[in-house]
Structure formats: C-alpha cells, structure tokens
Structure 1
Amino acid sequence: GCGERMGVPTPKQFCLVLERPLISYALQALESVHWIEDVVVAVTRENTEAMEAIIQRYQHKRVSLVESGVTRHRSIFNGLRALAEDGPDTKLSKPEVVIIHDAVRPFVEEDVLLKVVIAAKEHGAAGAIRPLVSTVISPSADGCLDHSLERARYKASEMPQAFLFDVIYKAYQQCSDYDLDFGTECLQLALQYCQTKAKLVEGSPDLWKVTYKRDLYAAEAVIKERISQQICIVKDVKEDGEHVGLLEEMLKNEFKHADVTSKALGPAAGDLPRVTLERCCSFVCVNVMNSDFHETQKLLKLLEDSHLSIFYPLVVISVHFLAYNSVSFGEKMEDLRQIRELAKEVKKRNILLYGLLICYPQEELKLQQRVGQGAAIIAALIKERNPSLAGQLLVA
C-alpha cells in the first residue's frame, strides 16, 4: 500500500502508532502464533531498507521479504512465488496452507486465524467476513439512485484469508493481467480459476483495516486499552500497611476489567516473575518506608534489562505516601524532585515514569478519599500513556 487514501507521504503500514510502525504490530500478531512457520512481506524496493530496520529493531524472527508488485494481486503473486520455489538457497518452504493478510490489520487473533486455516484445509479456501455497516447502493449514470442491495443478504469480505497453497498458486498462475491489475478479491480468483468455493468464517470486530488518518487514532486507542489490562503493583516486602492494601482495592475498582496483581520485589531485582514482565506494561511501584526511589530504581533496572519496552511504552508510577504528622510537605517534595532526571533517562528507552505523592491524614474517611484520588490519577496515567507528563510529580 502507498497510503493514498490516508493522505500522508508515508505508506500507512509504516505510520507510527505509539512510536512503533503499524506493520510491526501485524507481524507480532502473526509471529505469536507458534504454528505459523514463515511470514513473507511484499515490500517496494525503495522501502526495503526501512522494512529491514523494523525487523531488526522489533526482533521479528520469522519474516522474509520479497519485492512487491505495482498492485495488490501482483504483490501477493510475488509472495506465493517465493514460497513455491522451495529451493536449497531459500529458507522458505512450500506450505500446505497459506494465509493472506493485510499489513494494516494489526489486531488479528489466533482463533480467527485457526478458523480460516481449518476451513481452508477442508474446503480449499476460506475467508473472514463481517456484517455490512452501511447499505450498498448503485448509482445511475446521471448520479441518481438506480437500486440498493438488501443489506442482510450481503457481507463484507475481510482478512485473513487462507487457501490450500496449490489452489491459490494455480489460480494466480492462470489469472489474466486484468485480474492482476484491477482485481481485489483473492477468494474470487480461487472460485473463477480453480472452481474452489470458499468457506466464509465470521470474523471478530477487531479485523478492521487502518485506511484513513483517523484510523490511526482508533488503532492507538485499541492498543492502549489492550496494554492496560494487566497492572502490577510492586512493593517492598516490608511495605504492607493499611494504605497499601487500600490502594490495591481502589485500583481494582478503577480497572474493573483488568487483572490487578501485587508482587514484592524483595532484596533481588530478579524476584519479579518473567511471566509478569511479558504480560504487563503498567507498573505501580509503592515506596512507603523510605522517601527515596530505591524500589522504583530497582524496578526500572529490571524493565530496562528485559528490553520489553521496544514493543510498547511501559508505564511506571512511583507512589509515595506522606502522613501529615511526619516530615513536612516541602521536605518531601524536595526529596522527590529527582524523579525528573530519572524520567528523562528512562524515557529514552520508552519507559514513562511518573511520580505520585499521596498525602493522608489519620482519619479513615479522609484516608479513603485521598487514596481514591490517587487511584484515579494512576488510572488516568496508565490509560492515556501521555509522554509529555513523564517526570511530573502529581499530588493527591
């Protein structure tokens, strides 16, 4: 794709969403499926170097590049040829089933991929479909309504589509230049040239295609929502007071559909389980017993070493409590000013560090109010992931 409808100079698959190219999200979705052996990307010659840089930066392991054609069908045909060659000098091997997918549909899930593959093995071809959102009409030559289609009888063809490799490759070998230059529907080629009727599989709402500039903002919102579904509260093993437990409960109320778990770092930075790191992009680090950033710094070091921030912006909120009968507010603020310098350093590695000071009184009701305000601030920071607020110390 060249991004003509998006109205931007950069092809839409290379447009950044949360500072990461859109195509990298699509590749990650495919590579996360262990039974997909190879991913072939058709890319223009002038964008090959940029695509190679994306593969290296985001550690895509099963991706091979072929030169694209001037149209969609010619690009697909080039990809099929690369798989069909199956020679000693290529790392690709001819598959039994091939999936065709768009680089700008980043939210495809494994269950949809599995459904179209199973259907393709049985029927020879399969594709995901969705209900039509709008009624389709046919205009006359003078620009007036000629007739409309009964919407309930028709479906929108989406991606992914899957085929027995021999079926779709034969169809492309036999199709005309007109098909290659002006056609859009791969399922139709399998039907027209191989008499293979595709099985239609109901797709999920997340199969939509990023087409216009506004779709980039929608894609960003979807990604932010997805990476906000796991929140890990990290605390020192000694820090388990009433206010910490109250904060945990308040966060569970703020994130009703998220998994909010608590972990203790302990004396060793490696105490945080790897599975937690791999699933989580949002961390609330509670520093109660001390006024410095010891626990936060330990967590940041762990996140930096994991290199997980190359995929998504990681949020770390360093929470500090101040009792009214302890040190003065001014002294506490002075102690916490170092958050700005710390945030500058980790922001270079796509980690967004925020500070939160919760000032609490002795009265239980007011304590709940202050912690509730703090939980609301934490929720907003995690959901928005605003880089311009990194390094700020907010007060509840």
Structure 2
Amino acid sequence: MEGECRVAVVLPAGGCGERLGGCTPKQYCPVLGRPLISRTLEAFERVGWISDIVVVVAPESVDLMKNIIRRYGHKLVSLVEGGVTRHRSIFNGLRAFVEDHSLGPALKKPEVVIIHDAVRPFVDEETLLQVTSATRQYGAAGMVRPLVSTVIAPSSDGCLDHSLDRAKHRASEMPQAFLFDVLYKAYLQCSDYDLDFGTECLHLALAYSKTRAKLLEGPPDLWKVTYKRDLYAAESIIKDGISKHLCIITNIKEEAVQIGFRLHENLKSHIKHVKAISLSMCRTVQDMQNIFQGQCYNFVYINVTDSDLEESCKLIDLLQAAQAGASYQSVVVSVHLAFPEQSGSEMQKLSKIRELAKEVQKSDLLLYGLLINFSKEESQLEDGARQASAIITALITDRNPALTGQVMVV
C-alpha cells in the first residue's frame, strides 16, 4: 500500500454452523483436503501489507485451531477466545490489540482493521486494497452486492405487509474495514442488545462513532459458505482456478518430443495456459519453484526410458522438496510410451506406480499413469494424442484421489 499504514484482520470463527448440518462447524470442514478456514487465512497471508490476523474461536475449538495453524504453517495468526455472539467475538478480537490476552503475543494496534468471515475464502488483494483505501478516506467501508431476490416483510398474521424496491437496496457483504479507533469506540459504547442481537458492524460505526461508511460494489465471489452445497461450490471454484495451468515436461528422446508436441497442441484447446519445457530445466528445487510460483499445480512428464518410473520419481522428489502441494494438491501425470513389441511388458513395469502414488499422496501430490501406444503412422499418433489429452484434462479438472495410482491406456 502507498504510505505507512498498519492493517490487521479480525476473523470471527466461533460459529457452530447450524445451517450447514452435521457436527463439524463449517469453518473446519475440508475443502480440497484443507480446512476451509485455512483457505481463508491463506488468502490474507498472500497480501504482503497485512501485519496481523486475529482469529476468534470458540473456547472448545482453541486446540483444533492451534493444530491447523501449526500443520499448515500460518505465520501471522493470533488466537482469541470468542464470545457467545458474533459481535461479542469481534469485540474480543479488537481487544487483543489494546489489552493483553493469553493465547498469543502482544499485538500492535493497527490504523485500519478489516473484519471478514472465516468462511469466505475467495477474497482477493484488489478487493482488500479498495476497502482499505476507502476506509482511510471515509473512516469505514464495506463491500455490497445487488440483491438477487426481493425482500418482503410479513404482517403479524403471516400475510404480505410490504416489499422493498430491489434497485434501492444492497446486500451487505464482507470484507468491511474501519479505522481501528472508529470501530473500537463504537463497541465500547454499544448496548448489550447490540452485542447480542446486532449483525452489522457498519451500523455500529454509524450509530456510535457517527461514521458513514463508503459502500463499494464487490465482485460476485465474496459469498460465504453457509450450506453443505456451498462446500462443493467452493471446491469447484478452486479446482477451476488451479486447472488453468499445465506444464508438460519431456526428455530429449525423439519419441517423447513427438508426443509432447502433439499433447501441447491438443491440450491448448482445453486448458488456458499450457507450456512445454525440457527436463533439463527441471534439475533443482529452485527450477520447480520457478515453474509453479505462477500458480501451476499440474505436471505431465513424458518418460521414454525403460518405463521403470525412475525419471518420474526424480521429478516427484523435486516437487516434494519444493513443496508443490503446500497450497493445493498438485497433479502429476506420468506418461509412458508403449511400442508395439513391448506393450505387455510396459504395463507390468508400470504396476509399481500404485504404491508410489500412495506414498506421494501424503505430500498432497496426486500421481496418475498414462500409457500411450506409440505408432509411427501419423493418423494413429494424432488420434492417440487426442485421447491422451482428453484423459489428462479430466484428471486435472476432477483431481480425484480415488484414481491415483491407476494406469490408463490409449
């Protein structure tokens, strides 16, 4: 951000998720193998100008949240015990900046504090920058979205009393941001009724700090996970995002180059960003980090050796060392070529891929095998490449752990 401005985040995460159903609060439900709240924390930790993240959790969830922080390496997070309502939890989170608390080190009071929901994982830096910049100008700001349904008010007998003009109203969303003193002052003055039954932080800033928040039109992906179906939608959005990049790696054998070229041409029509590189560019951990720092979590390695997975194992070792699966499960498709006189023995040699896949899945790498029957006849070679491209696209899109270790044949 331009200028010196300390920005912190408070994430209320003490809810029990009644509307989701089940016994696990929604913020701890897995999304692509990682708790939902970890996905949200990761979104904030990618923003370099955020100094602290305070997560407010129910007392019975403190140990669970500590384990999540430790397992997924969240560095900026401090824990605070929540209250019995959302507003009381947010108030506890704000107090952590001005009072001592027992669950973490003392925190420095920020100029701007962002309030967000632990179950809204798709917040991006541009949105955070907009709401923070507006807050520095107006004292408070919040994201809004158009209403998708008309709001109606029933009468005491259950009949329609009146409806609101949808064009004149907006749905309040997160994130919201405040000058810290504006929001903290409001909470110090608000009533028990506000703390127990209120839902809108922007209203508290207006009522008790006389601060009129700037309302900003937010992107459509600020919705929060409320129902079980939303977990599937969240997974689908993440899968769609991480399936747009693919790296094809080939060795220098002529057959590998031929297949690699055809796969590259076919996959470009299915996957947005496809690049092909030589194995010589993937010799070190730094090489691999340079590849996937551009959000690449999908790798196809075309192996023309004795099909004993030796070269694929070397590549996987590098990916593990580079922590390719630290954020999202990475897909590795190990492609092998079967020549007419060798097809039976090739499948037998590739049978060991199943055990290897079980082992590397512990590092969040999903390993699949693909055997292409190689032919020097141009039309058959092209047809095989098209079929292989369709399989690779499906594997990358679905990211199905149940299929790891399987060897598909075209």
Q: Given the two structures, how large is their TM-score scaled by the length of structure 2?
A: 0.92
Shift of 1:373: 0.6
Task: Determine the structure 1 residue equivalent to 2:138.
Answer: 123
- Aligned match of 1:282 in 298, 301, 304? 298
Shift of 1:271: 6.6
Count of aligned pairs between the two proteins? 391
Shift of 1:241: 2.4
Quick one: distance in 1 between partners of 2:268 and 2:220? 27
Task: Determine the structure 1 residue equivalent to 2:96.
Answer: 82
Shift of 1:322: 2.3
- Aligned match of 2:310 in 280, 294, 318? 294
Does the alignment pair 1:34 with 2:48?
yes
Does the alignment pair 1:184 with 2:199?
yes
Please tell me the residue identity of whatever aligns with 2:398: E
Does the alignment pair 1:317 with 2:325?
no
Partner secondary structure for residue 98 of structure 2 = helix
- Aligned match of 1:92 in 107, 115, 119? 107
Partner secondary structure for residue 158 of structure 2 = coil
Shift of 1:98: 0.4
Between 174-183 and 218-227, report the one with greater CA deviation: 218-227
- Aligned match of 1:364 in 369, 374, 378? 378
Give the CA RMSD over aligned residues.
1.6
Between 233-242 and 359-368, report the one with greater CA deviation: 233-242
Alignment check: 8 A CA contact 1:17 1:216 kept: yes
Please tell me the residue identity of whatever aligns with 2:79: L
- Aligned match of 1:379 in 366, 369, 393? 393
Shift of 1:277: 2.9
Alignment check: 8 A CA contact 1:235 1:295 kept: no
Q: Which runs of 5+ in 1 are unaligned?
A: none
Quick one: distance in 1 between partners of 2:46 and 2:106? 20
Task: Determine the structure 2 residue equivalent to 1:50.
Answer: 64
Partner secondary structure for residue 185 of structure 2 = helix
Task: Determine the structure 1 residue equivalent to 2:345.
Answer: 331
Please tell me the residue identity of whatever aligns with 2:363: R
Shift of 1:299: 1.1
Task: Determine the structure 1 residue equivalent to 2:184.
Answer: 169
Partner secondary structure for residue 126 of structure 2 = helix
Task: Determine the structure 1 residue equivalent to 2:5.
Answer: none
Shift of 1:237: 4.1
Alignment check: 8 A CA contact 2:248 2:260 kept: no
Please tell me the residue identity of whatever aligns with 1:129: V
Does the alignment pair 1:250 with 2:283?
no
Please tell me the residue identity of whatever aligns with 1:260: V
Please tell me the residue identity of whatever aligns with 1:306: A
Shift of 1:86: 7.7
Task: Determine the structure 2 residue equivalent to 1:308.
Answer: 324
Task: Determine the structure 2 residue equivalent to 1:215.
Answer: 230
Shift of 1:152: 1.0
Between 261-270 and 364-373, report the one with greater CA deviation: 261-270
Which aligned runs of 4 or more in structure 1 are off by greater than 6 angstroms?
none
Quick one: distance in 2 between partners of 1:243 and 1:137? 61
- Aligned match of 1:136 in 146, 151, 159? 151
Shift of 1:238: 4.3
Quick one: distance in 1 between partners of 2:369 and 2:288? 24
Alignment check: 8 A CA contact 1:269 1:299 kept: no
Partner secondary structure for residue 284 of structure 1 = strand
Question: What CA deviation, in whole Å up to 9, does each residue of 1:2-28 have, x standing for no partner?
Answer: 111111111110011112100000000
- Aligned match of 2:122 in 107, 124, 128? 107
Shift of 1:206: 1.1
Q: Identity of paired residues, percent?
A: 58
Shift of 1:268: 3.1
Does the alignment pair 1:236 with 2:251?
yes
Alignment check: 8 A CA contact 2:57 2:79 kept: yes
Shift of 1:270: 3.6
Tell me: CA distance 1:221–1:31, structure 2 relative to 1, closer, same or farther (3 Å): same
Alignment check: 8 A CA contact 2:253 2:304 kept: no
Quick one: distance in 1 between partners of 2:365 and 2:134? 42
Question: What CA deviation, in whole Å up to 9, does each residue of 1:138-169 have, x standing for no partner?
Answer: 11222222111111111110000000001000
Question: What CA deviation, in whole Å up to 9, does each residue of 1:264-283 have, x standing for no partner?
Answer: 23283447342213322111
Between 151-160 and 357-366, report the one with greater CA deviation: 357-366
Tell me: CA distance 1:270–1:42, structure 2 relative to 1, closer, same or farther (3 Å): closer
Please tell me the residue identity of whatever aligns with 1:153: K
Partner secondary structure for residue 129 of structure 1 = strand
Shift of 1:85: 3.0
Please tell me the residue identity of whatever aligns with 2:36: L
Does the alignment pair 1:149 with 2:149?
no
Q: Which runs of 5+ in 2 are unaligned?
A: 1-14
Alignment check: 8 A CA contact 2:286 2:322 kept: no
Please tell me the residue identity of whatever aligns with 1:37: S
Q: Given the two structures, how large is their TM-score scaled by the length of structure 1?
A: 0.95
Partner secondary structure for residue 128 of structure 1 = strand
Alignment check: 8 A CA contact 1:85 1:94 kept: no
Alignment check: 8 A CA contact 2:190 2:208 kept: yes
